[in-house]
Amino acid sequence: MALTVATNTGALMAQAAASSVNKEMEISMERLSTGKRINAAADDAAGVAIASRLTAEIRGTNQAIRNAMDGQAMLDTAEGAHIEVENILQRMRELAVQGSNGTNDANDRANLQAEMDQLRGEIDRIAQTTSWAGQILLDGALSGKATSHSDQAKFTFQVGSGTTAQDSIVAAIGAVTADALGVGGSTSRPTVSNVTASGGGVTASAMDANGKITIGGTPANSNTISLNVNGTAHTLTVSSSDKYEVSVAGVAAQLADELNALGLSGVSVTADATGVTFNAGAAVGTPVVTLSSSASNASGTTSIDTTNNRITIGGSFGNGNKHSVEVLGVKVEITASNTDQYDDSIEGLMQQMADAINATVDADATLTTGKLNQGLTATYDATNKRIDIAQTAAMSSPQADVTASKITFSTATSNKIAFVDGLTTGDTISMQINGMDFSQKLDTAGYDTTKKEGAASLIAAKINEKSEEYGVTAAANGTAGEVVLTARTGTSLLARNEVTATSTAKLSEGTGANKGLFTVTGTSAINDTFDLVIDGQAVSVKVISDGYAETATGVASQIAQAVKDADIRGLEVTDNKDGTFNLKKTGSLSLSSTAEAQLTVEFLDAAIQTVNSQRASLGAISNRLDSTVNNLTNISSNLQAGRGRIEDADFAAETTALAKAQILQQASTAMLAQANAAKQNVLSLLQG
């Protein structure tokens, strides 16, 4: 019995050993056949999780490499289109330079213009059709043909396996349509014809190539100048009873004011001492915009009707609020107070303002700095709830304090500024006119300022450029070398208004790349007033219950519409419907004259600069993507090596293990055979 038990135990042990060896041999054979150390989670539970995470990162990184290379291909497509657009612009500039030559007749210019127009059309076609996999690249992101370079198509390149901001690169491609490059608007001067003068005194020339009509002769009462502007006939009549001087400079100023007041589309006229000039349009770029401090007005604000010289204070009384106006350059400020003699109401504030203006009038006519001229009165109209400002012909003489050698000023001799010969180019003439500073450097820009009559003509012209602000008109007195100042009457007296109140509403302009982007912030209220001066043209917007919401978005839309309604030449207004709006100048390409062609060269130079800047930006991103691909390739290689160390089989170790298992398998088989033979011996004894 004991022999039988021992023999069974040996057989079982041999059988178990053979089974274990078989399992180890199967594992080794599986690893050698798959090349993987981990073929199931049981092989290495933690290793499976780590290898899976590495696999996700490797596959994501490899796809990011392909994404970056696709992004480069997209940018290369855009770059190719930019190259062709620049080639077109260079050819257009060449045509403009050719058109600037005076040897061209009308037929030559028509032929040049025909090619110019076709090339401009090709710029639009390229911008609207250049695409990558169906995505338009050069026509911005908005629907329809882009009109602004700030309208950008933005593309996000996924160059990482994660989801953070660092895993992507954004490329913005601004629109390059003709309008977006600033060469699609109107720059042609208005059509001016049938220029005639009658009366025997004043004369007027036809408009020259530079857009100027020269006025000459000796103007007299009832003389007339007639002309036709863009199909609209207009006649000026000289009169000594109006606000304009009966002189060449006075007639020029009157003609410019009357033509600008007609509101003709595309008409902008400026005057100088010898005539008027029809302007071809502003240069491409951001308009010159100044914001008065009233842009931060709130409840308790001051609004001004500059046409009728009226001041209306709106909103509600606020103790401590400051209200100020500027009349002929003199600032008048009041502070609302519940302890003064005025009623604590809007009506009380207006009475206080009227009294303050009248108190600023210089009673003894010495016209010291900060004082207003005699003849000016402010009256509070309680019925119509407004302050009326009036200036009569009986006002005192203008004031001018001259600080320069070889120049004298005398109120005793008809308010004359007298010059003498011997002035030097570069001398500066400085004075105060009705309390406001005036300074002008003598130069030779159309005037021989070494002679007294040239200096007088220059100074008179410069004073008249701000005649309304100074409250005077200036006339050069022929060869006498004198400038005569005359007080203006019946004109707009109010230059600007300011209010310091409790509101937070504000209009501000961006800087740098956001130049020309205007943003309304804060909380607005009824009667808030926003004043802008755009290239010299004032635009005032008052918040009222007019359909626009008293929100940043509503107020921005209201201001944008008001600027559009002002019809400022060459100005493009875009309401972004988000509390912001854009102002931009545009111009087209005319070769109708030497002056127009030269203006076209300026527009094209700006357009070429825009294209070059964008090409440089896209090239920089493409170079960046080269580095991105190189780095991602390195990351992917190292990730794969790390994953291999975790899950790949060690062929040397597994081969050794397999050989060992095979030997053990053979040994266990032999032992099992011997154990079985021992059982046969026991059986033989029993059969004995």
**HSE (side-chain half, CA atoms, 13 Å) at 213:** 35
Does a structural domain hold residue 131?
yes
For residue 618, the Cα-to-chain-centroid distance in whole angstroms is 20
pLDDT-based confidence at 303, cuts 50/70/90?
low
pLDDT-based confidence at 364, cuts 50/70/90?
low
Which three-class secondary structure state does DSSP give residue 47?
helix
CA distance 251 to 215: 8
CA distance 357 to 302: 14
CA distance 343 to 363: 27
- pLDDT of residue 318 exceeding 50: yes
**HSE (side-chain half, CA atoms, 13 Å) at 323:** 31
467 and 513 belong to one structural domain: no
pLDDT-based confidence at 138, cuts 50/70/90?
very high
Does a structural domain hold residue 312?
no
For residue 141, the Cα-to-chain-centroid distance in whole angstroms is 17
pLDDT tens profile 203-259: 999 888 677 899 999 999 999 999 988 668 899 999 988 878 899 999 998 998 888
Strands 289-291 and 529-534: antiparallel
Does a structural domain hold residue 303?
no
> By mean pLDDT, which of 134-148, 293-307, 359-373 is the weakest?
293-307
pLDDT tens profile 162-209: 888 889 999 999 999 888 887 875 455 667 778 999 988 999 998 886
Q: Does residue 567 contact residue 263 with C-beta atoms inside 8 Å? A: yes
85 and 136 belong to one structural domain: yes
The arithmetic mean of pLDDT across residues 125-146, rounded, is 87
Does a structural domain hold residue 480?
yes
pLDDT of residue 333: 79
E runs forming strands in 590-672: none
- Pick the residue with more confidence: 87 or 373? 87
The enclosing H or E element of 257 equals helix 248-261
Domains of the chain: total: 5
- Pick the residue with more confidence: 603 or 614? 614
110 and 162 belong to one structural domain: yes
3-state secondary structure 222-256: CCEEEEEECCEEEEEECCCCCCCCCCHHHHHHHHH
* Sign of the four-CA dihedral 561, 562, 563, 569: positive
543 and 425 belong to one structural domain: no
97 and 181 belong to one structural domain: yes
pLDDT of residue 390: 73
pLDDT of residue 670: 73
The arithmetic mean of pLDDT across residues 121-146, rounded, is 87
Computed over its alpha carbons, how large is the radius of gyration of the chain?
43
pLDDT-based confidence at 500, cuts 50/70/90?
very low
The arithmetic mean of pLDDT across residues 530-557, rounded, is 79
144 and 264 belong to one structural domain: no
Round to the nearest angstrom and report the end-to-end CA distance of the chain: 16
212 and 109 belong to one structural domain: no
CA distance 171 to 165: 14
pLDDT of residue 235: 93
pLDDT tens profile 627-659: 999 999 999 888 888 887 887 777 777 788 777
pLDDT of residue 375: 63
CB environment 219-238: b (16+ within 10 A), e (fewer): beeebebebebeeeeeebeb
- Pick the residue with more confidence: 525 or 162? 162
pLDDT-based confidence at 544, cuts 50/70/90?
confident
CA distance 536 to 465: 11
Which one-letter amino acid corresponds to residue 16?
A
pLDDT of residue 499: 35
pTM metric for this prediction:
0.45
- pLDDT of residue 392 exceeding 90: no
Specify which of 7-21, 166-180, 301-315 reaches the highest per-range mean pLDDT.
Answer: 166-180
181 and 197 belong to one structural domain: no
- Pick the residue with more confidence: 210 or 550? 550
pLDDT of residue 280: 60
E runs forming strands in 510-547: 517-521, 529-534, 537-542
State the residue range of the domain holding 452.
400-487
CA distance 670 to 658: 18
- Pick the residue with more confidence: 596 or 275? 275
Strands 232-237 and 275-278: unpaired
- Pick the residue with more confidence: 599 or 570? 599
- Pick the residue with more confidence: 513 or 271? 271
Angle between helices 106-129 and 45-99 (to 10 degrees): 170
Does a structural domain hold residue 620?
yes
- pLDDT of residue 531 exceeding 90: no
166 and 224 belong to one structural domain: no
pLDDT of residue 1: 44
- Pick the residue with more confidence: 455 or 68? 68
CA distance 392 to 397: 12
Six token digits for residue 502: 């409790």
Q: Does residue 602 contact residue 609 with C-beta atoms inside 8 Å? A: no
Q: Does residue 389 contact residue 327 with C-beta atoms inside 8 Å? A: yes
Mean pLDDT of the chain: 77
pLDDT tens profile 438-477: 777 777 567 777 778 888 888 888 888 877 667 778 888 7
Does a structural domain hold residue 349?
no
Does a structural domain hold residue 29?
yes
86 and 179 belong to one structural domain: yes
> By mean pLDDT, which of 281-290, 444-453, 663-672, 675-684 is the weakest?
281-290
601 and 482 belong to one structural domain: no
CA distance 552 to 549: 8
65 and 171 belong to one structural domain: yes
Token pair 């007005």 is at which residue? 297
Does a structural domain hold residue 539?
yes
- Pick the residue with more confidence: 405 or 419? 419
CB environment 21-33: b (16+ within 10 A), e (fewer): beebbebbeebee
